[in-house]
Structure 1
Amino acid sequence: MTDNTDFEDSFTSPHGFVDPRQSIMQTVMHMVEDNVLHFKNDESEHGQRLHSGFRALKDNLEKVSAQADLVKREVSLYDFSADVPGNGFRSFTNIVHKAVLCVFDLCKQVCTNRDSIILFRKGHYVREVEAWGQTLASIATLLDYVTDVLMPKCKDGNLLPDKSDSPVELLTVLNTVSQYSFYGRCLGFHYYESLQKTLKFLNISMSAFSEVYYSDGGFIQRTKQSVITGGKYVMDPEQRARRIVDVVQYSSVDFIKAFWSLAETELLTQVPGIVGPSLAFQQAIVVPCEDQQVPKVDGTATVVIQAPHSHLPPSPITCHLLSAHLREGMLGEKDRKGVTVLPPSPYLILHCHGGGFVTQSTKAQEVFLREWAVGVGVPLLSVDYSLAPEAQYPRALEELLIVYSWVLNNSQLLGSSATKIIFTGDSAGGNLVTGLTLKCLELGIRPPDGLFLAYTPFVFQIVPSPARLLAIMDPMLPLGFALRCLKAYAGQPSRNASLATSPVDGITMMLGQQPKMLPSTAEHPEDIPATLEVPASSNTMNQVPSDAQSDTESFVEVTETDVQEAKAGLSKEVTNMSKSPSIISEPGSDTLTTVSLTSKASEIEDFKKSNGKNQSKKENKEERSKRYVTEFLEKYVLDSRTDKQGRSVPILRTGSDESESDETVLFEASNSGTGIGARLGRAKDAVFTGISSGLSSFGLRRRETVPSPTSPSSPQEPSQSKRPSLGKISLGTTHLRRESGCSLLDEFSGVELISDHYISPLTASHELLAKFPPTSIMSVEYDFCLDDCVTMAKLLRKLGVPVTLDVLDRLPHGFLNLSLVSKEAHDGCKLAVTRMRQLLQMDEEVATEFSTTSV
């Protein structure tokens, strides 16, 4: 990762000359001051707003520049190495630098066009200047906390403070920051340009989808509403920002599952096969949910691992095998005529997908898994584990262990001799395969020969690290989404919640408090899956030595009779329960304007059980629909103004005076190559541009006399606006917070998360971590999990484990899923292929000594 925080570089002035003595900040400040003076005597409404907006820019630029300089002095203390600069503190200084560059471009446009009556659109630039003023004000608030609180806590290069009041401390800070600016006009300013339009498209889609998801009515009504709301959010960035913040703050995990599952629709899952590299073999493989016997590495015994059944009855586990070549022994290989069959590969990749433990599948991630299978050239088996909240921790980990055990016994069916096996995973999948590695080491069975982990969380706590703060401006993984995924996977309703259905006799941790040990015996011992050891020289059952087990052992030893009784009991249960799919709720089941805004899931359930029933009796469907429409119109669609007779009349809130070039191009494919991928990308751009142009042809333009949602309230015309200007907000004359009945702080202040070393690998013993295989960790500059990755890499290096760390510039969490639409994301995908080949030591040129590198 390159250091973009050098504020002393020379820069080209708007007049075309370069002054090597003048820094970027000095240039920008000079331009801002010039605009302040220029608009000081402009008595029009927009002129005065530009004057106050540039004043706000000046004040906030000075503040964030001084704060960034303080942080910059110490950022190198937290890096992995001099060759790999990257940590949450450094990311903040880079964000300031990117913001300064964006303000420079804006000031340059104003200075160039402000004297032109035709080219200078005052209304457009008013909103741009006010938006950047608010963005800088929010960054300044975050930097205040970083410099005053976090840096004193993070001593000796430690990015994860040992003691904190999390999550109360973190959420309290974030609750004081206005998030609207990060999801409006300034959305994704710190990412590569190749990604900014795609991220804007995703956020417009989420805004429109949320209204459809939380609406009442049939298919036709929802479809019509989707078209209308989609056009509204294209034209009005401020309205889009308000909607996104509401969705992030108050939507349930069911909405998250439904929205992210759009990537698994039949149409989108066809795209990788059309534009991506071709595969010779791609097939679903169902791994039976039954006991597996795996020999210990030392040959002293055979470990028998019972089939998983925590939270859900035992059910087969679906996996997908992808391979660029057809190999001997593969399932169905003999049925393929006329295809070259290669010998079994000595290598195998076991992959676990991301998705916050609650959504996604192999099909959704095929966009980069194809690249990996072809680039590495070995069979790749991806596991579709059961999803939360139906299948909470540790169900997914149990299924992963069963699949791995089955692979060790049946690798020939995958076209591999399994001489070398590596585990790969991104995000939640990286956490799962890391926990699986710990489990293998504890059980004494064969561990993987390497680990590739992409943007992986290694600490399951809401600690206020600098990188955690970055989630407040993340369009791919917003803070509210991340927290609800953690809660769905490992959340407990209270400290006294029973773990009877969980095979973990582990630790539950109240967020922000020290771990507390639970009793070592479960309430229902028969529910605990078992691991048995069969001595190599005898058929009798032996126990593992006491020192081989931890207090939080998930797989305890029982007698063979106990296992048979457990199986008999389970056979009576329903075994064909489906895995937790991502299902869109029924119409009217929830709405962002009513019950779903409560802060706790228990309150929602209580409402549905009591008030919800009474409501349905008192109010028929037609009346309820009218009420929802009225609330929706008042909240999102209608504004008001005063007519000539002094009456307040409703008008359509239609957006801003944005040029079509600013807001209509939503999605842009990578321009590299001239093949079918490039042709499809151009066709896709044309479709989206056509749709957007069609929407704009309806005449959804705000007249100059109608103020925008961010216009200041004029004393002479009090009814012309409902919201204060962003310029006033930036100057501190008002405080913008949407009034609501709940917040993330209310929802998570009393939440408990299960915490043991399988789910938080950084808490594992150093003796165990020292046994890790060579590990390659990849993270990104503005990632929620960046500090986790840096800290894990440092710890493994300290323990003597061969490790590489890559911190990629200006890419978001989950960038691998965007490799088809961004050259930089695709380059990161190819780097992942290189790291995997290094772990497998496949080529002489890449099998050199494992060293630290960066991009």
Structure 2
Amino acid sequence: MDYKAVFVALEEVCDESLDALCAPPDLPYAAAAQRLVNTIVQVQEHGRALLPVVTGFAAVFHHYDFEPETPANGYRTLVKVLQSCLLHIIDKTRYVATSCHGAFFRAEHNACELEAYCGALCQLRALMYLAQRLLHDNGHGQLISLQDGELSRRFVREYASMHKACFYGRCLGFQFSATLRPFLQSVVISMVSYGETYGKQQSSLGIAALSLLTSGKYVLDPEQRGAEFERITQNLDLQFWKSFWNLTESGLVTGFTRITSNPVNVNLALTLPPVQLRLPLTSDPRLSTPVSPPVAHTGPGPVYARLISHEFREGHDTEELLAYSDMEANPLALNMVSSWSQKKARSPWLMIHFHGGGFVAQTSKSHEYYLRSWSKALKVPILSVDYSLSPEAPFPRALEECFYAYCWALKNAHLLGSTAERVCLAGDSAGGNLCITVSMKAVSMGIRVPDGIMAAYPATLLTIDASPSRLLTLIDPLLPLGVLAKCLNAYAGVTCKGLQPVVGSGTLGALGRDTATLLSDLGWGASNWLQSFLDPARSRSPSRPPPTLALSTPPGRSASERILRSDGGGGGGEGGDYPDGFQPMRSECLAFVLQSSCPVIKNPFVSPLLAPNELLKGLPPVHIVASALDALLDDSVMFARKLRDMGQPVTLTIAEDLPHGFLSLSQLTKETEVASDLCVARIREVFLKRDPPSNLRQRPTAASPAV
């Protein structure tokens, strides 16, 4: 739907609703009716202010796309999210207009619904203004503020103080596919309930059981759910997230996954011993180079991996392969081997997979569902690497282990049921990063590089720099900035601790409410105290704004005057990101986001987007599959453009209406299944030697017009 038509429809339906609510006879629910009127007036004001902003973005969208056939970038995404919010508001407001005089009209419920979406619209308006600042201050065609540290610092300050709970309550997941929203609600409810019991002296299963008992109140009270989820994402430490994400590794979940997924004939956990390998040089195969086992941080150690194959092939029943397999970890392995009766020839293809999980969580088990499907669809054996996780094993341990596993697979492909004529690296998120960096390391060492890479929504820039798509971390339930920063800092070896849970506390509110409030007060005061030195004109002591948005407009005051203001905590007061009379809602407790200056984060083998061209030259064809609603979308677009401008073969495919991490959700909806199939299609292109078209490998000769 064209954005102009959306704004026209919004104006019309708001007028209709106001006429209906103000028309005689008097409504029996006067207080709720007044709330509806006030909210609809606010919605109109936001809509009128946003129309010229969106129009400005629409005029320059195309300058930031990877190519005309792939219209995707963070500015488009922000408008897409805003339009989705407006469509929800239009639908709810139209219902008010047609039903407010009906006997079964629930005035209180509808007032709460519209107030929630109005709050979300207010915060989205703030994001649009921040994106305007990025558009103004960034270089032509640049999506990420790589050179302007102040832009990124302002982005972090806004995240720290901006109210986000409205996106996790009634409005949860409004921007995503409708079929995914119930799942997202379940995830958020589970996370908040798990947070109540986190830190108690119980097993993971016991904590999960207690969480089920407490989840009901968050189903019934979405406002409480949003507030508690915001508190969790802002202040709980990395160990909480590791613990929660690793619930997918429990026997119950993995057992259910294996029952519901495609059966495979080979599923072996392997332990690769730390011995030195020798691989031939591509420049002269008569010569070879040593490949040492991983040694960073903890010294030489084994690398763990999982072999998955839908078909039983030559090499799978050899004693040499089974010697790498721990039979205690594979209790059915002996039975499985004895039941093998027919062997197929070795496949000419081999896929090596690196899983996602923010470098801090999950293993091949978490991703086994779609790997089983891929092995069947592609008829290929898959080696999925269980690299060591941060913060216990920060960079470069994971990269060393993945590179060693890649080299071991090349040398021992015959054991994996493959001749390795064509080798593809595949991974998602953190795994996508490792696919690229492993290939860079192969290029730098002069050994065989893979024949292609399929990277799903890869993390190519591990700095906390601002971009239009990264503004979505302020509203994304699966990738909030506070959590993303903890993961990236952990991989870089930067310590960042959040609020610790109180052992034995009954609720999340009890485990940190007073401490969070105290830290918030201290943070607020420290920010103003520091600002008084930086800007003497602001040395006055501003009053702290209230924590919530008042949704009733006092007589004689405009809606914009009623919106919360912040003189010391946000980017608006300092950088002029917001027009006069507007400020977004502010949170009760401030988040702490460590924006590290650690040089490791800018290491090209950590952030390949920052790699010099010399390191990227020689990479195989890179196929990136990203999501239009992913906060890391701009990372993918910028990396694809960098490779294209160098003449490197690259494609970028965009999945619509899905969040970051959609591969782990591939069994849930038709949309995620289709997105998974897109990844399979790209991997198949690698195996069938279908390189990207030449026009994607060459830099355009015509200069782009000025914005």
User: Shorter-chain TM-score: what band?
Assistant: 0.7 to 0.9
Pair 1:783-2:630 in alignment: yes
For residues 39 and 665 of structure 2, the distance between their equivalents in structure 1, rounded to whole angstroms, comes to 35
Pair 1:733-2:580 in alignment: no
1:34 Cα shift?
2.4
User: In 2 relative to 1, CA 372–587 (structure 1 residues): closer, same or farther, beyond 3 Å?
Assistant: farther
1:429-451 Cα offsets, whole Å, 9 max, x none, are: 11112111111100101111100
For residues 730 and 342 of structure 1, the distance between their equivalents in structure 2, rounded to whole angstroms, comes to 71
Q: Could you say which residue in structure 1 is the equivalent of 2:81?
A: 95
1:247 Cα shift?
0.4
Pair 1:322-2:308 in alignment: yes
Q: Could you say which residue in structure 1 is the equivalent of 2:147?
A: 163
1:592-643 Cα offsets, whole Å, 9 max, x none, are: 346688979xx9xxxxxxxxxxxxxxxxxxxxxxxxxxxxxxxxxxxxxxxx
Helix, strand or coil at the partner of 2:271? strand
For residues 219 and 820 of structure 1, the distance between their equivalents in structure 2, rounded to whole angstroms, comes to 24
1:39 Cα shift?
3.0
Code of the aligned partner of 1:592: G
User: In 2 relative to 1, CA 268–727 (structure 1 residues): closer, same or farther, beyond 3 Å?
Assistant: farther
Q: Could you say which residue in structure 1 is the equivalent of 2:121?
A: 136
Code of the aligned partner of 1:138: Q
Q: Is the 8 A contact 1:487 1:753 kept in 2?
A: no
1:211 Cα shift?
0.7
Instruction: Choose from 192, 200, 217 the match for 1:207.
Output: 192
Instruction: Choose from 53, 63, 66 the match for 1:77.
Output: 63
User: In 2 relative to 1, CA 761–750 (structure 1 residues): closer, same or farther, beyond 3 Å?
Assistant: closer
Q: Is the 8 A contact 1:492 1:754 kept in 2?
A: no
Instruction: Choose from 127, 130, 155 the match for 1:145.
Output: 130
Q: Is the 8 A contact 1:424 1:452 kept in 2?
A: yes
User: In 2 relative to 1, CA 355–594 (structure 1 residues): closer, same or farther, beyond 3 Å?
Assistant: farther
For residues 486 and 598 of structure 1, the distance between their equivalents in structure 2, rounded to whole angstroms, comes to 27
Helix, strand or coil at the partner of 2:631? coil
For residues 56 and 32 of structure 2, the distance between their equivalents in structure 1, rounded to whole angstroms, comes to 36
Instruction: Choose from 387, 390, 393 the match for 2:392.
Output: 390
Q: Is the 8 A contact 1:134 1:730 kept in 2?
A: no
Q: Is the 8 A contact 2:356 2:428 kept in 1?
A: yes
Q: Could you say which residue in structure 2 is the equivalent of 1:717?
A: none
User: In 2 relative to 1, CA 762–595 (structure 1 residues): closer, same or farther, beyond 3 Å?
Assistant: same
Instruction: Choose from 657, 661, 669 the match for 1:810.
Output: 657
Pair 1:192-2:183 in alignment: no
1:250-274 Cα offsets, whole Å, 9 max, x none, are: 0100001011111111111123322
Q: Could you say which residue in structure 2 is the equivalent of 1:575?
A: none
Instruction: Choose from 50, 53, 67 the match for 2:53.
Output: 67
1:290 Cα shift?
2.1
Q: Could you say which residue in structure 1 is the equivalent of 2:364?
A: 362
Q: Could you say which residue in structure 1 is the equivalent of 2:10?
A: 28
Code of the aligned partner of 1:304: P
Q: Could you say which residue in structure 2 is the equivalent of 1:253?
A: 238
Q: Could you say which residue in structure 1 is the equivalent of 2:288?
A: 302
Q: Could you say which residue in structure 2 is the equivalent of 1:39?
A: 21
- 5 Å-filtered alignment, 1:253-292, equals 253-292=238-277
Helix, strand or coil at the partner of 1:322? strand
Q: Could you say which residue in structure 1 is the equivalent of 2:298?
A: 312
- 5 Å-filtered alignment, 1:418-567, equals 418-492=420-494
Q: Is the 8 A contact 2:601 2:607 kept in 1?
A: no
Q: Could you say which residue in structure 2 is the equivalent of 1:636?
A: none
Q: Is the 8 A contact 1:145 1:173 kept in 2?
A: no
Greater displacement, 162-171 / 819-828:
162-171
1:637-658 Cα offsets, whole Å, 9 max, x none, are: xxxxxxxxxxxxxxxxxxxxxx
Structure 2's unaligned 5+ residue stretches are 323-336, 524-545, 565-584, 698-707
Helix, strand or coil at the partner of 2:668? coil
Flag the structure with larger Rg: 1
- 5 Å-filtered alignment, 1:233-244, equals 233-244=218-229
Structure 1's unaligned 5+ residue stretches are 9-22, 495-583, 604-720
Q: Which has the higher helix share?
A: 2
1:361-388 Cα offsets, whole Å, 9 max, x none, are: 1101112111211111111000000000
Instruction: Choose from 753, 757, 761 the match for 2:608.
Output: 761
For residues 218 and 758 of structure 1, the distance between their equivalents in structure 2, rounded to whole angstroms, comes to 37
Code of the aligned partner of 1:277: N
User: In 2 relative to 1, CA 80–266 (structure 1 residues): closer, same or farther, beyond 3 Å?
Assistant: same
1:488-507 Cα offsets, whole Å, 9 max, x none, are: 1104359xxxxxxxxxxxxx
1:669-728 Cα offsets, whole Å, 9 max, x none, are: xxxxxxxxxxxxxxxxxxxxxxxxxxxxxxxxxxxxxxxxxxxxxxxxxxxx99654456
User: In 2 relative to 1, CA 413–588 (structure 1 residues): closer, same or farther, beyond 3 Å?
Assistant: farther
For residues 98 and 782 of structure 1, the distance between their equivalents in structure 2, rounded to whole angstroms, comes to 11
For residues 353 and 410 of structure 2, the distance between their equivalents in structure 1, rounded to whole angstroms, comes to 15
For residues 178 and 474 of structure 2, the distance between their equivalents in structure 1, rounded to whole angstroms, comes to 20
For residues 290 and 204 of structure 2, the distance between their equivalents in structure 1, rounded to whole angstroms, comes to 51
1:767-822 Cα offsets, whole Å, 9 max, x none, are: 33231111100110111211111111111112222211101111000011111111
1:827 Cα shift?
0.3
Q: Is the 8 A contact 1:348 1:421 kept in 2?
A: yes
User: In 2 relative to 1, CA 283–447 (structure 1 residues): closer, same or farther, beyond 3 Å?
Assistant: same
For residues 636 and 480 of structure 2, the distance between their equivalents in structure 1, rounded to whole angstroms, comes to 19
For residues 737 and 761 of structure 1, the distance between their equivalents in structure 2, rounded to whole angstroms, comes to 35
- Aligned CA RMSD, in angstroms, stands at 2.9
For residues 308 and 768 of structure 1, the distance between their equivalents in structure 2, rounded to whole angstroms, comes to 21
Code of the aligned partner of 2:56: L
1:398 Cα shift?
0.7
Q: Could you say which residue in structure 2 is the equivalent of 1:120?
A: 105
User: In 2 relative to 1, CA 776–132 (structure 1 residues): closer, same or farther, beyond 3 Å?
Assistant: same
1:140 Cα shift?
0.5
Pair 1:836-2:665 in alignment: no
User: In 2 relative to 1, CA 178–780 (structure 1 residues): closer, same or farther, beyond 3 Å?
Assistant: same
User: In 2 relative to 1, CA 350–595 (structure 1 residues): closer, same or farther, beyond 3 Å?
Assistant: farther
For residues 209 and 249 of structure 2, the distance between their equivalents in structure 1, rounded to whole angstroms, comes to 23
Seq. identity, % = 31
Helix, strand or coil at the partner of 1:807? strand
Code of the aligned partner of 2:8: Q
User: In 2 relative to 1, CA 490–113 (structure 1 residues): closer, same or farther, beyond 3 Å?
Assistant: same
- Normalised to the residue count of structure 2, the TM-score between the two structures is 0.82
Code of the aligned partner of 1:143: M
1:295 Cα shift?
1.7
1:360 Cα shift?
0.7
1:753 Cα shift?
4.9
Q: Is the 8 A contact 2:378 2:684 kept in 1?
A: yes
Q: Could you say which residue in structure 1 is the equivalent of 2:410?
A: 408
User: In 2 relative to 1, CA 261–49 (structure 1 residues): closer, same or farther, beyond 3 Å?
Assistant: same
1:153 Cα shift?
2.5
Q: Could you say which residue in structure 2 is the equivalent of 1:511?
A: none
Q: Could you say which residue in structure 2 is the equivalent of 1:614?
A: none
For residues 377 and 629 of structure 2, the distance between their equivalents in structure 1, rounded to whole angstroms, comes to 27
Q: Is the 8 A contact 2:502 2:512 kept in 1?
A: no
For residues 247 and 762 of structure 1, the distance between their equivalents in structure 2, rounded to whole angstroms, comes to 31
- 5 Å-filtered alignment, 1:684-695, equals none
For residues 105 and 492 of structure 2, the distance between their equivalents in structure 1, rounded to whole angstroms, comes to 54
Code of the aligned partner of 1:92: L
1:31 Cα shift?
1.4
Helix, strand or coil at the partner of 2:93? helix
User: In 2 relative to 1, CA 793–847 (structure 1 residues): closer, same or farther, beyond 3 Å?
Assistant: closer
Q: Could you say which residue in structure 2 is the equivalent of 1:576?
A: none
User: In 2 relative to 1, CA 216–302 (structure 1 residues): closer, same or farther, beyond 3 Å?
Assistant: closer
User: In 2 relative to 1, CA 796–345 (structure 1 residues): closer, same or farther, beyond 3 Å?
Assistant: same
Aligned length: 620
User: In 2 relative to 1, CA 214–460 (structure 1 residues): closer, same or farther, beyond 3 Å?
Assistant: same
For residues 190 and 453 of structure 1, the distance between their equivalents in structure 2, rounded to whole angstroms, comes to 24
Code of the aligned partner of 1:7: Y
User: In 2 relative to 1, CA 213–730 (structure 1 residues): closer, same or farther, beyond 3 Å?
Assistant: farther
- Normalised to the residue count of structure 1, the TM-score between the two structures is 0.68
Greater displacement, 390-399 / 222-231:
222-231
